[in-house]
């Protein structure tokens, strides 16, 4: 990973091992959600720009839960990069590799994890000095077999597989030494957020952290 703030932020994602991908319909929902994530030991939050509440939710989480590493997800435009920065996002995640969006993040100093699922996109990232990439949609793009194929020619790249990952298969990804973290929404499902089921989100977050720690313990013993 890179040095300075970018390196620290992205290393923080790797330490956690799981990035919950969150959609909120109101900024107020972020208060209960943040409390549940922290209590469950899940200290990263990717709030997606798939709703108009994203900016307000990011700002609230940054203010009220300083222990959380809060990023902006589904960043699709330069305007959204600017909104993420204004809200105080610590990092940005994109579903694909849009050069204009990636360039805007780099120019502004906002750490970015762009989405890729092909060798050509990996090489676009390498040209810009990026070495942590989102592999999306993970399961639909070939899962762990495709990741192994990408790792071969690009051993310096670490990945955050996202898409089709949950508690049943996260271990198959996190045992790979070139997977920094996995992304998913199973512990922060929209229906749980809508119903204010914060205790269930806390339970699922705690379970996810435990599964990630166990997987990494098995996968890195011989490395």
Annotated catalytic residues are 46, 134
Q: E-assigned strands of the chain?
A: 18-22, 44-48, 69-73, 91-93, 112-113, 115-116, 132-135, 158-161, 182-184
Distance CA 51, CA 74 (A): 10
162: nearest Cα among 68, 69, 94, 100: 94
* Sheet with strand 115-116: strands edge to edge: 115-116, 132-135, 158-161
* CA distance readout (Å), 67 to 38, 64, 103, 210: 8, 9, 28, 19
Cα 157 vs. chain centroid, distance in angstroms? 16
């Amino acid at each position: 990973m890179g040095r300075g703030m970018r390196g620290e932020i992205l290393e923080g994602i790797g330490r956690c091992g799981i990035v919950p991908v969150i959609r909120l319909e109101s900024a107020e929902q972020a208060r209960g959600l943040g409390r549940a994530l922290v209590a469950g030991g899940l200290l990263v939050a990717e709030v997606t720009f798939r709703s108009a509440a994203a900016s307000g939710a990011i700002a609230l989480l940054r203010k009220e839960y300083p222990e959380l590493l809060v990023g902006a997800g589904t960043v699709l435009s330069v305007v959204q990069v600017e909104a993420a920065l204004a809200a105080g996002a610590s990092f940005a995640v994109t579903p694909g590799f849009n050069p204009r969006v990636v360039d805007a993040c780099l120019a502004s100093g906002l750490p970015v994890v762009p989405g890729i699922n092909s060798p050509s996109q990996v090489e676009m990232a390498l040209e810009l000095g990026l070495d942590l990439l989102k592999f999306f949609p993970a399961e639909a793009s070939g899962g762990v077999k495709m990741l192994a194929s990408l790792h071969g020619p690009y051993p310096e790249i670490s990945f955050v597989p996202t898409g089709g990952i949950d508690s049943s298969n996260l271990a198959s990804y996190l045992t790979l030494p070139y997977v920094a973290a996995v992304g998913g929404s199973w512990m922060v499902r929209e229906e749980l957020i809508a119903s204010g089921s914060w205790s269930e989100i806390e339970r699922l977050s705690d379970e996810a952290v435990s599964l990630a720690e166990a997987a990494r313990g098995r996968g890195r013993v011989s490395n």
